[in-house]
Amino acid sequence: MASPRRQVAVIPVRRGLKGPEVCLTRRVDSKKWGIPKGYIDRGDTPEEAALTEAFEEAGIRGPLIGDPIGTYDYKKWNSRLTVLVFVMEVREEQESWLEMRIRTRSWHAVEEAEEMLENHPVHPLWHGARKCIVGWYGKGRA
């Protein structure tokens, strides 16, 4: 059974015309951008849970790229939560998805996404994310 204080998240990327693009999400009633994130359901692996969150929150599917890039902590409801972060290659994007009434998604160049997440707790992991994204993108260009 997964700890109720453990979550997973994905930094979703796709191949854009000018380079890799990152999908950010936000609640429709918020101005703060983030990444798909959530709890690990009983019986799911962290990898399965990360892919589920990406599909539910952003309507996107694809494989994870490599190993997790790290963790970050944040506080919610007087609890400290640890989030395991993966990078995901987006191969499919749904026109409608489970949480589309409460969340929106938007695609951005890697540098722009990094700036938009400057105050997000995932920001310290961005160097690892960038390294993973550049390696993944470079393989597809060869």
What does the pLDDT look like over 122-132, one tens digit per residue? 999 999 999 99
Residue 116 lies inside a defined structural domain of this protein: yes
Whole-angstrom distance, CA of residue 6 vs CA of residue 80: 9
Q: Report, as an integer, the average pLDDT of 41-69.
A: 96
Residue 1 lies inside a defined structural domain of this protein: no
Specify the CATH number for the domain of residue 65.
3.90.79.10
Residue 113 lies inside a defined structural domain of this protein: yes
Residue 67 lies inside a defined structural domain of this protein: yes
Q: Are 23 and 14 in contact (CB under 8 A)?
A: yes
Residue 2 has pLDDT above 70, yes or no: no
Residue 67 has pLDDT above 80, yes or no: yes
Residue 27 lies inside a defined structural domain of this protein: yes
The structure's pTM equals 0.91
Domain span at 38? 6-141
Domains in the chain: how many in total? 1
Residue 4 has pLDDT above 60, yes or no: no
Residue 76 lies inside a defined structural domain of this protein: yes
